[in-house]
Structure 1
Amino acid sequence: MNTDYDVIVVGAGSMGMAAGYYLSRQGAKTLLIDAFDPPHANGSHHGETRIIRHAYGEGREYVPLAIRAQTLWNELQEESGESLFEKTGVLGFGPEGSPFIDEAIASSKEYSLSLDLLDADEISTRWPGIQLPKGYKGCFEPDSGVLYSEKCIRAYRRLAEKNGVHIVPNTPVKNIEADKDSVSIETDDATYTAKKGIISAGAWNKDVLAHLNLDIPLQPTRQTTTWFESDPSLYEADVFPAFFVDVPSGVYYGFPSFDGSGLKIGRFDIGQKTEPAYVNREYGIYPEDEGHVRKFLDTYMPQAAGNVKQGRACIFTRTPDEHFVVDLHPKHSNIAIAAGFSGHGFKFASIIGEILSQLALDGHTEHDISIFSMTRPALQQTGDALPR
Structure 2
Amino acid sequence: MQSYDVIVAGVGAMGSATLYHLAKQGLRVAGLDPHPPGHAFGSSHGETRIIRKAYFLDGNYLPLLERSYALWRELEAESGKDLMQICGLLCIGELESEFIAKLEGASQEAGLALDRITSAEARALHPAMQVPEDQVIYHDRDGGYLSPEKCVATHAARACVHGADVFAGEPLLEWSADGNGVRVRTANRTLSASKLILTTGAWVMPEFAKLGIPLRVRRKVMFWHRVSEAERFRDTPVWIWAQREQAFYGFPTLDGTTMKSAEDSGGEYLEHADARDFGIRSEDDAALTPFLRTAFPGLVHEIDRAKTCLYTDSVDRNFIIGFHPEHPQVLLTSCCSGHGFKLSSAMGEVLAKTVQSGVLPPETAFFGMR
Which one is further off, 47-56 or 201-210? 201-210
Asked if 1:245 is matched to 2:213, the reply is: no
1:236-385 aligned within 5 A: 236=234, 238=235, 240-248=236-244, 250-260=246-256, 262-274=258-270, 275-281=272-278, 283=279, 285-375=280-370
What's the secondary structure of 2:255's corresponding residue? Answer: coil
What's the secondary structure of 2:301's corresponding residue? Answer: coil
Write the distance in 2 (CA, Å) between the matches of 1:339 and 1:81: 30
User: Partner of 2:82 in structure 1?
Assistant: 83
Residues 329, 336 of structure 1: 8 Å contact kept: yes
Residues 208, 215 of structure 2: 8 Å contact kept: no
CA RMSD of aligned residues (A): 1.9
* CA deviation profile, 1:151-170 (whole Å, cap 9, x unmatched): 00111111101111011111
Asked if 1:193 is matched to 2:192, the reply is: yes
Equivalent residue for 2:231, pick from 227, 230, 233: 233
Which one is further off, 300-309 or 78-87? 300-309
Q: Normalised by the size of structure 2, how large is the TM-score?
A: 0.94
Distance 1:247 1:4, change over 3 A: same
User: Partner of 1:170 in structure 2?
Assistant: 169
What's the secondary structure of 1:229's corresponding residue? Answer: strand
User: Partner of 1:47 in structure 2?
Assistant: 46
Which one is further off, 128-137 or 70-79? 128-137
What's the secondary structure of 1:48's corresponding residue? Answer: coil
Residue identity in the other structure for 1:157: A
Residues 114, 143 of structure 1: 8 Å contact kept: no
Q: Normalised by the size of structure 1, how large is the TM-score?
A: 0.90
Residue identity in the other structure for 1:296: F
Which one is further off, 165-174 or 219-228? 165-174
Distance 1:75 1:372, change over 3 A: same
Residues 57, 106 of structure 2: 8 Å contact kept: no
Write the distance in 2 (CA, Å) between the matches of 1:20 and 1:367: 22
Write the distance in 1 (CA, Å) between the matches of 2:172 and 2:161: 25
Unaligned ranges ≥5, structure 2: none
User: Partner of 1:383 in structure 2?
Assistant: none
Residues 326, 369 of structure 1: 8 Å contact kept: no
Task: Give the superposition deviation at 1:85.
Answer: 0.4
Write the distance in 2 (CA, Å) between the matches of 1:110 and 1:220: 30
Write the distance in 1 (CA, Å) between the matches of 2:5 and 2:90: 43
Distance 1:34 1:214, change over 3 A: farther
Residues 105, 139 of structure 1: 8 Å contact kept: no
User: Partner of 1:73 in structure 2?
Assistant: 72
Task: Give the superposition deviation at 1:372.
Answer: 1.6
Residue identity in the other structure for 1:263: M
Residues 200, 338 of structure 1: 8 Å contact kept: yes
Write the distance in 1 (CA, Å) between the matches of 2:328 and 2:53: 31
Task: Give the superposition deviation at 1:197.
Answer: 1.0
Residues 63, 107 of structure 1: 8 Å contact kept: no
Which one is further off, 292-301 or 149-158? 292-301
How many residues get paired?
368
Residue identity in the other structure for 1:206: M
Distance 1:306 1:134, change over 3 A: same
User: Partner of 2:216 in structure 1?
Assistant: 219
Unaligned ranges ≥5, structure 1: 376-388
Residues 182, 193 of structure 2: 8 Å contact kept: yes
Residue identity in the other structure for 2:332: I
Write the distance in 2 (CA, Å) between the matches of 1:112 and 1:4: 46
Residue identity in the other structure for 1:344: H
Write the distance in 1 (CA, Å) between the matches of 2:366 and 2:175: 27
Task: Give the superposition deviation at 1:355.
Answer: 0.8
Residues 114, 142 of structure 1: 8 Å contact kept: no
Residues 316, 342 of structure 1: 8 Å contact kept: yes
Residues 206, 215 of structure 1: 8 Å contact kept: no
Residues 319, 336 of structure 2: 8 Å contact kept: yes
Write the distance in 2 (CA, Å) between the matches of 1:261 and 1:159: 33
% identity of equivalent residues: 33
Write the distance in 2 (CA, Å) between the matches of 1:68 and 1:257: 28
What's the secondary structure of 1:270's corresponding residue? Answer: coil
Distance 1:107 1:206, change over 3 A: closer
Bigger fraction of residues in strand: 2
Distance 1:340 1:353, change over 3 A: closer
Task: Give the superposition deviation at 1:205.
Answer: 0.7
What's the secondary structure of 2:363's corresponding residue? Answer: coil
Residues 119, 133 of structure 2: 8 Å contact kept: yes
Residues 208, 214 of structure 2: 8 Å contact kept: no
* CA deviation profile, 1:213-255 (whole Å, cap 9, x unmatched): 545311111100111112322111x1x1111121125011111
Asked if 1:8 is matched to 2:7, the reply is: yes
What's the secondary structure of 2:286's corresponding residue? Answer: helix
